[in-house]
Amino acid sequence: MAQWENTLEQAVKAIPDNITANEIIQRVMKAIKLRDKPVDKIERIFQGLQAEYESKKHDPSDMFHLLHILVTNHLNALETHIKDLKYKDEFLQSIYWKIVRDYILWKYRYKCILCGGGKKLNVHHKNYNHHGLEHLYLDDLTVLCEDCHKQYSLGPKEK
């Protein structure tokens, strides 16, 4: 019998008889949640990115690539974290979106794709199919000036 099977058997024996299956599941889920909080890692990455962003030492392309590298092994946690944010009040203010948005503006040379204007530019989601992983699906994003943007929907329903 492998070591872990032994340990598991002892753990199962230690469960009191009067506990329900549901309670066992809840206890295990709670233990897993406490031990392994990948979302915390994302928060720490975001804090680091925020500090680099505020230092103004990096251009949009460098910041974008830094983001890319830091989150690459935590994509599930990233997507979960982002999807939990309220779209307007939290996501649009997040360091994640700031970095992606700045990069898209830079990539499109600070010009509206429809009229070529450079005033009051917005980075617009063409769709929200990859919300939380925008940095991997740059074709979902585009640059529109405020006037052109008004012709489009303004985003998903507020939470």
- Identify the helix (H) or strand (E) that includes residue 88: none
Choice between 15 and 154, CB closer to Zn ion: 154
Query: Residue 144: what are its φ and ψ, rounded to 5°?
Result: -135, 145
For Zn ion, the binding residues in 94-113 under the rule CB under 5 A are 112
Q: CA-CA distances (angstroms) from residue 78 to 14, 81, 131?
A: 37, 5, 10
- Helix, strand, or coil (residue 38): helix
At closest approach, how far in Å is the CB of 118 from Zn ion? 9
Quick check: 127 and 139 in contact, CB under 8 A? no
Binding piece for Zn ion, criterion CB under 5 A, among 45-53, 63-71, 76-84, 116-124: 116-124
Quick check: 48 and 70 in contact, CB under 8 A? yes
At closest approach, how far in Å is the CB of 88 from Zn ion? 22
At closest approach, how far in Å is the CB of 103 from Zn ion? 20
For Zn ion, the binding residues in 137-156 under the rule CB under 5 A are 145, 148
At closest approach, how far in Å is the CB of 127 from Zn ion? 20
- Which positions ≥6 away from 138 have C-beta within 8 Å? 103, 104, 107
Choice between 65 and 155, CB closer to Zn ion: 155
At closest approach, how far in Å is the CB of 155 from Zn ion? 18
For Zn ion, the binding residues in 22-41 under the rule CB under 5 A are none
Which listed residue (114, 133, 136, 138) binds Zn ion by CB under 5 A? 114
Q: Which residues sit opposite 54 in a β-bridge?
A: none
Which listed residue (86, 115, 119, 127) binds Zn ion by CB under 5 A? 115
Closest to 45 (Cα-Cα) out of 95, 83, 79, 93: 95
Binding site for Zn ion (CB under 5 A): 112, 114-115, 117, 145, 148
